[in-house]
C-alpha cells in the first residue's frame, strides 16, 4: 500500500509546486509570460487528472478527522500520532491503577470472608479450583 500512497504524495507535491509557480507568474504578470502561464495551467489540469486516477488506489485508507484539525491549526500531522500514543499511555496507567485497586480489594475481601465465613469460603475455593 506504500507505493500508491508515495505516488499520490509525489503527485500532490508536484501539484502544489505548480500552483506556487503559477502564483508567482500571476503576481508579476508580463504579457510575454502568457505561454509559460498557459503551460503551467495545462500542467495543473494534468496534475488534477493524475490525482483523480490515483484515488481508486487509496480509497481504503482512512484518516482520522482529527488529523485534519491538526493541519488546520498549522500543526504537524505527525504530532497527532504522538498525542494519541501519549493519551493511550495515560489511559493505560489509569486502567492499570484500577486493576491494582480491584486486586487489593479482592485480596482484602477474601481475608475478611475467611474470618467471617470460613466454611463457605472453603467451599467457594473448592468450586472455583
Residues 58 and 19 in one domain: yes
Residues 13-54 pLDDT 10s: 999 999 999 999 899 888 888 999 999 999 999 999 999 998
Q: Which pLDDT score is estimated for 60? A: 83
Which domain, by its residues, includes 118? Answer: 63-129
Boundary (domain end) residue, out of 9, 43, 62 = 62
Looking at the fold, whether 17 and 1 belong to one and the same domain comes out as: yes
The answer to whether the CB of 57 falls within 8 A of the CB of 24 is no
What is the reported pTM?
0.52
How would you classify residue 8: left for phi > 0, otherwise alpha for psi between -120 and 50, otherwise beta?
Answer: alpha
The phi-psi region of residue 64 (left if phi > 0; otherwise alpha if psi is between -120 and 50; otherwise beta) is beta
Per-residue pLDDT tens digits for 49-75: 999 998 888 888 888 899 999 889 999
| Shared-domain flag, residues 20 and 44 | yes
pLDDT at 1: 54
Q: At what angle do helices 65-72 and 78-116 cross, to 10 degrees?
A: 130
Task: Give the number of domains in the chain.
Answer: 2
Which spans in the chain are helix H? 2-27, 34-54, 65-72, 78-116, 118-128
Amino acid at each position: 500500500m506504500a507505493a500508491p500512497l508515495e505516488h499520490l504524495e509525489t503527485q500532490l507535491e508536484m501539484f502544489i509546486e505548480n500552483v506556487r509557480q503559477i502564483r508567482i507568474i500571476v503576481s508579476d504578470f508580463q504579457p510575454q509570460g502568457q505561454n509559460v502561464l498557459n503551460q503551467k495551467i495545462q500542467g495543473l489540469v494534468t496534475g488534477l487528472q493524475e490525482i483523480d486516477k490515483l484515488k481508486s488506489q487509496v480509497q481504503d485508507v482512512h484518516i482520522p478527522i482529527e488529523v485534519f484539525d491538526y493541519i488546520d491549526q498549522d500543526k504537524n500531522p505527525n504530532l497527532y500520532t504522538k498525542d494519541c500514543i501519549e493519551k493511550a499511555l495515560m489511559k493505560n496507567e489509569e486502567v492499570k491503577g484500577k486493576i491494582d485497586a480491584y486486586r487489593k480489594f479482592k485480596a482484602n475481601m477474601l481475608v475478611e470472608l475467611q474470618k467471617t465465613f470460613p466454611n463457605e469460603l472453603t467451599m467457594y475455593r473448592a468450586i472455583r479450583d
